Structure 1
């Protein structure tokens, strides 16, 4: 079922149509829409008139979305210590040689468990992959961390230093609980 256009909508459409320049070799579109009468439906017996509701604003203002895990900022001290490998991870999870589904499940469980136990730094070993077969777990890690069940625990993701695995591993900084 379609509704007819109001007088304001028709006037607006006429202004838009008048400002359009047709493609080469094409005729100019009509300036106004033809009048299309709205369909008339027979009233139902004993039916109440249909009332439209105005959309309600949310009860609280929506929160700003979190920045992507890779773009999340940490203070300078954290970033310096992570890049030098001067930190000791609270937990280590090795996803290397797991299937994608099993690795995703293991990561979710490890993040949840580490967060509940107050850990702040998780070393996630994904493996580097090979030139002919890039690391699939490594490629999926940032997508998995953006899921709401995991994202609520994660403050940031940083590449690991050479001391902790280099490009085959990541530091996962967890939020304080």
Structure 2
């Protein structure tokens, strides 16, 4: 028989290692390893030109996530370097649900490797994040 592959499972074997380590997404306002002084200073001072902006006002959380995910995939394809995500402040005591969820979305395995730095777009505005994205290779 041609094309037949035999797979043998070994109990207790370690999981296969990825070819390159997955980089965790940076936390908001915290300089990530690999981000040089000049880029960090430019990002935190708002000196990067924003290539695209996503406004999530008025969405429920699931719809907001779907829009965010499509936007991030498109930003990869388009080669955008700096994008802004607007969530708004929210009306609750702890802020809006989308605003609370966005940091979790940034740590997803398919999104985290794209993000180099995350800051609030302005110190007085906690309802928007500016993301510096990794260059496409």
- The TM-score by the shorter chain falls in which range? 0.7 to 0.9
Question: Once the two structures are superposed, what CA deviation does each residue of 1:15-74 show, in whole Å capped at 9, x if it has no partner?
Answer: xxxxxxxxxxxxxxxxxxxxxxxxxxxxxxxxxxxxxx5755566577544234215342
Q: What residue ranges of structure 2 are gaps of 5+ in the alignment?
A: 1-9
Q: What residue ranges of structure 1 are gaps of 5+ in the alignment?
A: 1-52
**Bigger RCO (CA 8 Å, 6+ sep):** 2
- The answer to whether the Cα contact below 8 Å between 1:69 and 1:142 also exists between their aligned partners in 2 is no
> CA separation in 2, counterparts of 1:84 and 1:57?
45
- The answer to whether the Cα contact below 8 Å between 2:25 and 2:113 also exists between their aligned partners in 1 is no
- Where 2:126 maps in the other structure, the secondary structure is helix
Considering fraction of residues, name the structure with more helix: 1
> CA separation in 2, counterparts of 1:150 and 1:67?
9
Alignment pair present for 1:95 and 2:56: yes
Q: Name the larger-Rg structure.
A: 1
Say what the alpha-carbon RMSD is for the aligned residues.
2.6
> CA separation in 2, counterparts of 1:59 and 1:138?
35
Shift of 1:129: 1.6
- The answer to whether the Cα contact below 8 Å between 2:87 and 2:98 also exists between their aligned partners in 1 is yes
Aligned residues: 124
> CA separation in 2, counterparts of 1:109 and 1:88?
21
TM-score for both structures, normalised by structure 1: 0.60
Give 2:98's aligned residue.
137
TM-score for both structures, normalised by structure 2: 0.75
Shift of 1:131: 5.1
- The answer to whether the Cα contact below 8 Å between 2:54 and 2:85 also exists between their aligned partners in 1 is yes
> CA separation in 2, counterparts of 1:60 and 1:127?
39
> CA separation in 2, counterparts of 1:153 and 1:166?
24
2:81 pairs with one of 100, 106, 120? 120
